[in-house]
Structure 1
Amino acid sequence: MKNAMLPANPAFWFVAPALVLIAVFFFLPAAASLFLSFTDFDIYALGDLERLRFVALENYLRLLRDPLFWTALKNTLYFVLIGGPLSVAVSLGAALLVNHRLVRFKGLFRSLLFLPVVTTLVAIAVVWRYLYHPRHGFLNYLLGQFGLGPVDWLGDPDWAMPAIILMAIWKNFGFNMIIFIAGLQSIPTRLYEAAVIDGANAWRQFRHVTLPMLAPTFVFVTVITMIGYFQLFAEPYVMTQGGPANSTLSVALLMFQEGFRWWNLGYAAAVAFTLFLIVLAGTLLQLRLRRGAI
């Protein structure tokens, strides 16, 4: 009887350790965070659990009334809607160039273009701070060559987010580039040969062969990019701390500030799960739209 209650499939015992680790380090913390979002857990409750109170949906209602949250959400949407498509476009362009049949040393170029992805953000931030320097930065030097005045890239609320987007695209496009290269290499060459026989030029080959065959890859890349860009945190945290005038404050950075600067952990948990619901809704919507397009 005892042996009959044990799983008969040996594969279960191979995946069991991984399932236990996932449950302990993912599902349990997520469940605890969800519970905290319905409480007023703060630094006082951290010292004395008797101060912990269940407040139901109060944190979420407070979130909807918080103008700082709406500012952070607007900035995050701006980053996703502008930076996301630009990042995908740059990744696709780089993949097409590297994968071209006339390009030599393809492996070298792929490695060089992928280096920003694996480089620590702190090192990247140091370099880009010099590039963005209002007086001695390279970008302002280029503007001066065209007779344009200098721009305070990280100190001007109108330019801070575009500066963050530019740096994020440069750092992250290499990952999607590798995925696009894999998708391009999976396209049968006979399709291009047939298109050439039919008289299709390079643009028509790209439009009628490459793009349709890359549709599944586009779905994956766009969804992954959107999810990653909604979690914008490291770039503004390192470069601007959310400033100037909260122009680069993201939802993830707001969550960090509420939780680990002001110790409003219950409210921070509510911010986290609100962001989760936004990302989930965006992902489902994008998958539905892509499924209809495919």
Structure 2
Amino acid sequence: MTTTTTPRRSGSSGLRRGEAAAGWLFTAPVIVILGVFLLVPVLMALWVSVSDWGGRGSPLSGSVSFVGAENYSAVLSDGGLATKDFGTALRNNAWYVLLVVPLQTALALFLAVLVNRARLRGRGFFRTAYYFPSVTSSVAITVLWMFLFTSSGAVNGVLAWFGINGPNWFNDPRGILHLALGTDTGPVALTQGGVLGISWWDWLAGPSIAMSAYILMAVFTTSGTFMLLFLAGLQNLGGDVEEAAMMDGANGWQRFWRVTLPQLRPTLFTVLTLGLIGCWQVFDQIYAGGRGAPSKTTLTPAYLSYQTAFKNQEWGQGAAIAFILFVIIIVFTLVQRWALRDRPVSRRRIRAYQVASKGGRS
């Protein structure tokens, strides 16, 4: 008679003896690398943001003093040039995010649905063509974009065919909403008050014409990447639910809006999160382009942090801007996570879907 013995397990976790130690041993190199090259620099940058380090020597030397929130107050509340520059950069970037994220997400989803169609011939070619701008150097695309959007460039040449006198895009600081209203002067109530040294009227100016060119470039270069994410999500969906909706009489738009899109919620959250992070951290296009010109209407917090630290030698303020930007990204991500959370389906929504299905069947 033979007996079988089961391996002894340690603790309530059910791990065999020694597996926990082996796991820590295998992950130790990655933990050390992340700690040395990620955690330690972040902590040092945090110390720089609350100290008077001048850029020479070690930030941890005895000559560096703790100044508390002085660098943060210089950026947020002092009302000087640093505050106004940060307000300008925040306004520019806010309009950039407000326009780029929805446009690139909608375009990426549209392209993914289009490429996912079984009847489309040459789908591999279109996938590669749409994705190609995403793998091209952003600096090269920025240089090409500036060439296309000059006063004598191809874009203005096309606009001239329709009788439109195009601007010199990257040199025009006027806000597009002010241009639409036909005025640069607003109501007294909007021009007197404000935040971060910028009046409410200037906050409502919209992106400048120069920033609008960057917005178009961002949508052009990033939609291909997000298209692949949506395409992967679409190909992983089961057809049972959509077939049931077809049996209930739902039309194509109802099936997409009420069946396909809710199943893409995890992919949508990923796309929106990556889009938000990328838009708030936009730097290389600004650096390769006008570097904030014209009239600081393309200035962004990421570039302002670099300019403040490396050019103006205000290392504490530059680090403070970076951490403020980090907090902004975290807050937007949490709000987005709350907005896209899973919600229980109410009876009212079920009834609305049944009514809509009967309407589509009729």
Amino acid at match of 2:326: F
Change (3 A) 1:225 1:138: same
TM-score with structure 2 setting the length:
0.75
- SS for the counterpart of 2:127 is helix
1:27 to 16, 39, 63: 39
| Aligned residues: CA RMSD | 2.0
Contact 1:69 1:251 in 2 (8 A): yes
Q: CA deviation at 1:141?
A: 1.3
Q: Tell me if 1:257 matches 2:307.
A: yes
Q: Output the CA distance in 1 between the equivalents of 2:67 and 2:19.
A: 42
Match of 1:90 among 82, 97, 107: 107
Show the counterpart of 2:69.
57
Amino acid at match of 1:116: P
**Equivalent pair of 1:88/1:173 in contact (CA under 8 Å):** yes
Deviations 1:154-209 (A, max 9, x none): 01013011110000111111111111001111111222322333332221221121
1:130 correspondence with 2:142: no
Name the SS of the counterpart of 2:340 in structure 1.
Answer: helix
Q: Which has the higher contact order (CA 8 A, sep 6+)?
A: 1
| Bigger Rg, which one | 2
Higher helix share: 1
Match of 2:224 in 1: 174
Partner of 1:119: 136
TM-score (norm 1): 0.92
The residue matched to 1:111 in structure 2 has which SS? helix
Of stretches 37-46 and 56-65 in structure 1, the one that deviates more from structure 2 is 37-46
Alpha-carbon distance in 2 for matches of 1:63, 1:269: 11
Matched, 1:228 2:278: yes
Judge which range, 35-44 or 264-273, deviates more: 35-44
Change in Cα spacing, 1:44 to 1:27, as seen in structure 2 (3 Å) is closer
1:60-79 CA-partner distances (Å, limit 9, x unpaired): 01011311111111111111
Q: C-alpha distance in 2, partners of 1:30/1:76?
A: 23
Identity percentage over the alignment? Answer: 38
Query: Which residue does the alignment assign to 2:318?
Result: 268
5+ unaligned residues in a row in structure 2: which ranges?
1-17, 174-207, 345-362
1:37 and 2:69 are equivalent in the alignment: no
SS of the residue 2:68 aligns to: coil
- Structure 1 gap segments, 5+ residues each: 1-5
Name the counterpart of 2:253.
Answer: 203
Provide the rounded CA distance (Å) in 2 between the counterparts of 1:43 and 1:167: 35
The letter of the residue matching 2:94 is L
Change (3 A) 1:230 1:48: closer
Deviation of the 1:46 alpha carbon:
6.8
Q: Letter of the aligned partner of 1:99 in structure 2?
A: N
Q: Does 1:145 align with 2:161?
A: yes
Q: Secondary structure at the match of 1:161?
A: helix
Give the whole-Å Cα distance in 1 for the aligned partners of 2:141 and 2:334. Answer: 33
Mapped pair 1:100 → 2:150: no
Structure 1 CA distance for aligned equivalents of residues 260 and 158 of structure 2: 36
1:115-139 per-residue CA deviation (whole Å, 9 max, x = no partner) reads: 111111121122212210112x111
Contact 1:44–1:51, Cα closer than 8 Å, also in 2: no
Deviation at residue 232 of structure 1 after TM alignment: 1.3
* Separation in structure 2 between the aligned mates of residue 49 and residue 81 of structure 1, nearest angstrom: 43
SS of the counterpart of 1:173? helix
Q: Could you list the per-position Cα deviations for residues 22-80 of structure 1 after superposition, in whole angstroms to 9, with x for gaps in the alignment?
A: 00000000000000101122245679956533211100010113111111111111111
Aligned residues: 288
State yes or no: 1:245 paired with 2:262.
no
3-state SS of the aligned residue for 1:168?
helix
2:281 equivalent to 1:281: no
